[in-house]
């Protein structure tokens, strides 16, 4: 694809118009906080937008799309990861898995948001259903989610992580702790919690929302491994999130998510052009700010009918022929499985 080439000048300009304003907003927030806490919080919220944009640079570097040079991608990716509290090698590996398995019902669990099918939910234990309901609650996903992401998920490696990934995460953590310690010594812990806490919380919530909305819409594509198709997963399993210009700019055009999933080597500043110049891509599901709110009710994937449903729909679906048969078959298999016998 002709768009899958980086432009060094545009990449450098994006670093300048993204990271510099973010740092200046933080400096200004720390400068004015002794005089106006609300003013400092306002600047911190504005800085959160630039943190999201910085994350998109980090994201492009993990795909090797921001610069032509691999070393440049790794260096800038690592540094922007530190600024956004992400570990470069860890997230890079998990995100590659996400791209390779997105919308594949048989390969869920790494780099994605937890999605249960209706059948799985019906046959799950009460505890698992309760846990899933808590997980999918908007206040938990977008409220506690950013805290878990920054304090837990991004700080620890998976058990199967290789040495390079582990060392990269350790180094990221050390530098992040050093930066935090320096900021607290120069100011105070209260100011740090108010300013950086606000920024990272808002940015984290926005990031999770973007990731959620780009794969959670009513007719999103999901298939089992035997039927899964990469192109369909990209174009039909990812949405085009149509945002106002300023929000599109702040989010690094990641709303053209279908384009990105189809060709991850396209840098963020060429995604819109690729969408506009490729008519088949314009058939992707379009979501706006208003219609995106509807996705909050979508909790489970109804695999036989190939669309998302709400928890409220489960009672009705349990009475249908499909799910009664499936549930009965699963119960029979469990009853004849030797492993279940004492």
Per-residue tens of pLDDT for the chain, all 342 residues: 579 999 999 999 999 999 999 999 999 999 999 999 999 999 999 999 999 999 999 999 999 999 999 999 999 999 999 999 999 999 999 999 999 999 999 999 888 899 999 999 999 999 999 999 999 999 999 999 999 999 999 999 988 899 999 999 999 999 999 999 999 999 999 999 999 999 999 999 999 999 999 999 999 999 999 999 999 999 999 999 999 999 999 999 999 999 999 999 999 999 999 999 999 898 899 999 999 999 999 999 999 989 999 999 988 887 775 666 665 555 545 544 544 443
Residue with tokens 């992401």: 149
Q: In what order do the strands lie in the sheet with 300-302?
A: 116-117, 300-302, 307-309
Report whether 67 contacts 12 (CB < 8 A).
no
| Predicted pLDDT at 329 | 55
Work out the burial of residue 337: count CB atoms within 10 Å of its CB; fewer than 13 is exposed, 13-18 middle, 19 or more buried: exposed
pLDDT of residue 341: 40
Environment class of 162 (CB within 10 Å of its CB; exposed 0-12, middle 13-18, buried 19+): exposed
pLDDT of residue 26: 98
C-alpha 177/C-alpha 92 separation (Å) is 21
8 A C-beta contact, residue 281 and residue 259 = yes
Q: Give yes or no for a contact between 111 and 50, defined as CB atoms under 8 angstroms apart.
A: no
Count CB neighbours of 203 within 10 A: 26
Give the pLDDT of residue 190.
97
pLDDT of residue 342: 34
pLDDT of residue 320: 74
Four-residue CA torsion sign, 109, 115, 121, 123: negative
Residue 230, beta-bridge partner list: none
Residue 316: the pLDDT is 84
Specify the pTM. 0.90
User: What angle (nearest 5°) sits at the alpha carbon of residue 92, between those of residues 159 and 133?
Assistant: 65
């Amino acid at each position: 694809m002709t768009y899958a080439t980086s432009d060094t000048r545009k990449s450098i300009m994006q670093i300048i118009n993204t990271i510099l304003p973010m740092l200046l907003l933080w400096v200004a927030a720390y400068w004015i906080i002794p005089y106006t806490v609300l003013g400092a919080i306002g600047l911190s919220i504005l800085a959160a937008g630039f943190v999201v944009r910085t994350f998109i640079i980090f994201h492009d570097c993990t795909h090797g799309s921001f610069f032509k040079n691999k070393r440049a991608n790794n260096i800038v990716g690592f540094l922007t990861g530190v600024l956004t509290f992400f570990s470069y090698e860890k997230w890079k590996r998990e995100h590659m898995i996400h791209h390779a398995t997105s919308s594949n019902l048989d390969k869920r669990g790494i780099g994605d948001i937890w999605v249960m099918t209706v059948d799985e939910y019906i046959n799950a234990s009460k505890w698992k259903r309760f846990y899933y309901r808590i997980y999918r609650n908007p206040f938990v996903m977008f409220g506690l989610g950013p805290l878990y992401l920054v304090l837990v998920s991004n700080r620890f490696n998976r058990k199967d992580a290789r040495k390079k990934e582990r060392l990269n995460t350790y180094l990221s953590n050390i530098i992040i702790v050093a930066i935090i310690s320096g900021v607290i010594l120069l100011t105070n812990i209260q100011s740090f919690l108010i300013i950086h806490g606000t920024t990272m919380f808002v940015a984290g919530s926005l990031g999770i929302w973007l990731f959620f909305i780009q794969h959670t819409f009513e007719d999103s594509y999901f298939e089992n491994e035997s039927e899964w198709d990469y192109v369909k997963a990209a174009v039909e399993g990812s949405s085009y999130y149509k945002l106002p210009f300023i929000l599109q700019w702040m989010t690094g055009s990641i709303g053209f998510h279908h384009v990105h999933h189809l060709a991850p080597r396209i840098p963020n500043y060429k995604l819109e052009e690729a969408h506009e110049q490729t008519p088949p891509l314009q058939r992707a599901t379009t979501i706006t700010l208003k219609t995106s709110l509807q996705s909050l009710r979508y909790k489970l994937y109804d695999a036989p009918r190939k669309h998302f449903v709400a928890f409220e729909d489960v009672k009705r679906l349990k009475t249908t022929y499909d799910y009664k048969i499936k549930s009965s078959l699963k119960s029979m298999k469990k009853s004849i499985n030797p492993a279940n016998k004492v």
